[in-house]
Amino acid sequence: MASAVFVDRGYKTSLGTAFYDRLADLDKLAKLLGGVRTVIVYGPRNVGKSELARYAAMRRLKARSVLVDSRRRSLNALLGFSSDDEILLKKAGELLAASMGLPRGLVGIIDEVLSRISQPQLIIVDELHLLFEGDLERALSSLEASAGLLAKEGSGRPRLIVTVSEGFFATARAVSRLLGYSTAFMLVEPMDVQAFEALYDEYKRLYGCKVGLEAMLALSGPLPGYLPDLCGRSEDLLAEWIAGEARKVYSALHEAAVKAGLSVDNARKAASRLLRGEPAEDPALLALGEALVEHNIAYPCPATPPIYLPQLPVYEVLVETKNSALDPRSVVKALKAEALRRCADL
């Protein structure tokens, strides 16, 4: 008997739907925040990291929180702030937008928030890398400085949640930079398929969807953020989307091959094994896996030896072919929903 899907219909996500699933993730995030000062929430693009952080703050933690929206370069108050606080946050957000960032990066943003309003319990920085215009090394250095500041400032400082879509932040090199700063990493995996089906049904009822559930799962997996992108596409436009993803995969494979010291053909074969869950047990596979993470083709599971899974299921097909003009139906046939794997299953 299938388990019931958790749904909060009183909460509206950025998709315009109810909030689905994620009870285990909410529990884990609350537990981590009880033990460390900074939590880096990572995972595949469009998996729902931002929505999870917002929902956790408002529904589970019920904390006075400030949201740093890196896309809009704005600061928003969540729960328990006065109108005066919200006005001050708006002014700080205007400064953030006008300067394309504040002095001293994320540390400057945190100091700006704390200087203008009463002490928040939680600061959420959504999609940190977008504040630094693609300069990932600078973003990581800023995160390292902020985590170090919060770790050393005592219990009066707020907790920090940072969401990141760039795989760069989950590489072994990035993780090692944050050791000792009261920091934890939390992987958000694709939704439970049953929960995604319920979300898909609501989204389709509200907005329509030309792409069937099976095709959606085969192409993007149960990642809610892809619904707005894929649902409006005809078969021709789906083929165009696949071709664009293919170009990204092939470019990443060439660069990853160089970093791993492999020929492109051998890198392709090794990447195929990695994306199907084979552990990276030798230095060449490890280098290849880390390079694929940096290019957002894969994401790392917290396992020893490391395991790397595809950001999108369609990448499993793309690494095995040089043909970028794949028919969507052939991709769906090659990847059935029941074949989707997650870290927890390995």
200-209 pLDDT tens trace: 999 999 999 9
How far apart CA 247 and CA 212 sit, in angstroms, is: 24
How do residues 273-287 score in pLDDT, each as one tens digit? 999 889 999 998 999
| CA dihedral over 199, 201, 207, 208, signed as positive or negative | positive
Model confidence at 115: pLDDT above 60:
yes
Model confidence at 16: pLDDT above 90:
yes
Rounded to whole angstroms, what are the CA distances from 194 to 190, 197, 218?
Answer: 11, 5, 15
Decide: 288 and 333 in contact? Cβ < 8 Å.
Answer: no
Interval 118-138 mean pLDDT: 89
How do residues 82-110 score in pLDDT, each as one tens digit? 999 989 988 888 878 876 655 578 898 88
Q: What is the pLDDT of residue 154?
A: 64
Q: What is the pLDDT of residue 1?
A: 40
Interval 311-333 mean pLDDT: 78
In terms of C-beta density within 10 A (0-12 exposed, 13-18 middle, 19 or more buried), how is residue 68 classed? buried
Q: Is 0.95 surpassed by the pTM of this model?
A: no
Q: What is the pLDDT of residue 342?
A: 78
> Which CATH number describes the domain made up of 22-187?
3.40.50
Amino acid present at 206: L
Rounded to whole angstroms, what are the CA distances from 151 to 145, 178, 183?
Answer: 10, 11, 8
Q: Of all residues in the chain, what percent carry a pLDDT higher than 90?
A: 61
Decide: 150 and 160 in contact? Cβ < 8 Å.
Answer: yes
Q: What is the CA radius of gyration of the chain?
A: 21
Interval 301-313 mean pLDDT: 90
Residue 259 CB partners (closer than 8 Å, separation 6+)? 287, 288, 290, 291
Give the burial string for 232-243 (b: 16+ CB within 10 Å, else e): ebeeeebbebbe
| Per-domain boundaries in the chain | 22-187, 209-338
Q: pLDDT-based confidence at 58, cuts 50/70/90?
A: very high
